[in-house]
Amino acid sequence: MMHLNDLIYIAIFLAGALIAGKIVKQMHLPNVTGYLVMGILVGPHALNIINEDVIGHFSIVSDMALGFIAFSIGAEFSIKYLKKVGKSPVVIAILEGCSATLLVDITLLLLGYDTPLSLALGAIASATAAASTLMIVKQYKAKGPVTNTLLPVVAMDDAVALMNFGISMAVIKVISSGSFSAKAMLMPLVEIFGALIFGAILGIIMTQLVKLYTGRGNRLAITVGMTFLCIGVCNMTGMSSLLACMMMSAVFANTSRYTDKIFEPLDRMTPPFYMMFFILSGASLDITIIPKIGLVGAVYVIVRVLGKMLGAYLGAAISKAPPVVKKYLGLTLIPQEGVAIGLVTVAKGALPQYGNTIQTVVLCGIVIYELLGPLITKITLKAAKEISTT
């Protein structure tokens, strides 16, 4: 196959996304679904216009898009906003993440699967996709109690997933070696708090820079530059760039008078990055692995969703969230992507004997969740009367 230069590939990504968006609009489907399907079609497992080398070469696009997504979600953590939504998002995020983990753990163990495999898959089950969720909310301009709860829940879900994974890996180590490791238990905490502290420092710096430099162009350059700096340092140090970018944005939103002048131009600039991200995400999905999923995969795919729904329902009930949140929120937490893929990579290194099984099961789950999840989220938000689009 002839190798094209980078700019032509970027043009292909954007053209594919625009065509897909037009087609799915006629079918009343979310744009995200169209981008992912188009990515699958042009990817290495179909037409091979975008091969695996190209996907790897453009991994920086995914990093940038996820950074912007995290930055956008972080703005939801203004003190004024949190006072309005109360404690519900925190309680729900903890319970929906832990319920998915425990339900997958228990079901696989009862079916006789090895403890390390069961615990690893259970831990990965807690992760949810921020990108797909945010895109649905933005596309349909969703507003209401479910949406107001959903965005902070998805944001906090990453921290819950990292904690669950760290604890599960530590338990697996204890079972395998017979010795307790405090370091293994504490490492997830170090990574989480390290990312939060680093993000907070960058948020304070950003607030000062925005005061110093006026003009939309300068402020947009500051936002993009600080986001890239945050992602780059986190990638070098192993911290979560999603958590750090969210914290940077949250601190900025609470310490600056210029939030509207930052977030509005950013919202106009970022759609091409999101389009490219989902085209590349779709291209990396191998739908041919679905028949190989087996019983363990079917259990993972189904039980994870049940765990999310149960945890969201219990969390909403305990925190006295509005009835509409209790009824609908769980179904909006189905999508899964970036964080889960990162955890699979770590699990493969820590548990090589189960690595292929973990990778096949989780990646197959991601294919199913990413194709169906955005559509289910749209239908759910429409049922909750938070979007009016048909």
Domains observed in the chain = 61-278+295-383 (1.20.1530.20)
- Residue 178: the pLDDT is 64
- Residue 209 CA to residue 204 CA, distance in Å, equals 9
> Closest by alpha carbon to 156, among 237, 34, 242?
242
Whole-model pTM: value is 0.76
Cβ(382)–Cβ(137) below 8 Å: no
> Closest by alpha carbon to 337, among 266, 267, 285, 386?
285
Whether pLDDT at 99 is above 90: yes
CA torsion, points 265, 270, 272, 275, in degrees to nearest 10? -140
Confidence tier at 3 by pLDDT (50, 70, 90): low
Can you read off the two tokens belonging to residue 125?
């089950």
Confidence tier at 184 by pLDDT (50, 70, 90): low
Whether pLDDT at 174 is above 90: no
One-letter amino acid for residue 165 of the chain:
F
Across all residues in the chain, what is the average pLDDT?
Answer: 85
- Residue 202 CA to residue 248 CA, distance in Å, equals 6
* Greatest pairwise CA separation for the chain in angstroms: 63
- Residue 389: the pLDDT is 54
Overall average pLDDT of the 176-182 stretch: 65
Cβ(53)–Cβ(283) below 8 Å: no
* Tokens 């085209």, residue located: 279
Can you read off the two tokens belonging to residue 95?
């319970």
Whether pLDDT at 183 is above 70: no
**Which of 282-286, 338-342, 343-347 shows the lowest per-residue confidence on average (mean pLDDT)?**
338-342
- Residue 300: the pLDDT is 92
Helices (H) and strands (E) counted in the chain, each on its own, are 18, 0
| C-alpha pair distances (Å), 155 with each of 87, 159, 333 | 14, 8, 11
- Residue 153: the pLDDT is 87
- Residue 59 CA to residue 49 CA, distance in Å, equals 17
Overall average pLDDT of the 299-311 stretch: 93
**Which of 22-31, 126-135, 306-315 shows the lowest per-residue confidence on average (mean pLDDT)?**
126-135
Cβ(380)–Cβ(332) below 8 Å: yes
Alpha helices in 270-354 (DSSP H): 271-283, 294-318, 323-328, 338-350
Confidence tier at 225 by pLDDT (50, 70, 90): very high
Whether pLDDT at 53 is above 80: yes
Confidence tier at 182 by pLDDT (50, 70, 90): low
**Which of 107-121, 202-216, 281-295, 368-382 shows the lowest per-residue confidence on average (mean pLDDT)?**
281-295
Confidence tier at 231 by pLDDT (50, 70, 90): very high
Q: Is residue 180 helix, strand or coil?
A: coil
CB within 8 Å of 11: residues ≥ 6 apart: none
- Residue 218: the pLDDT is 92
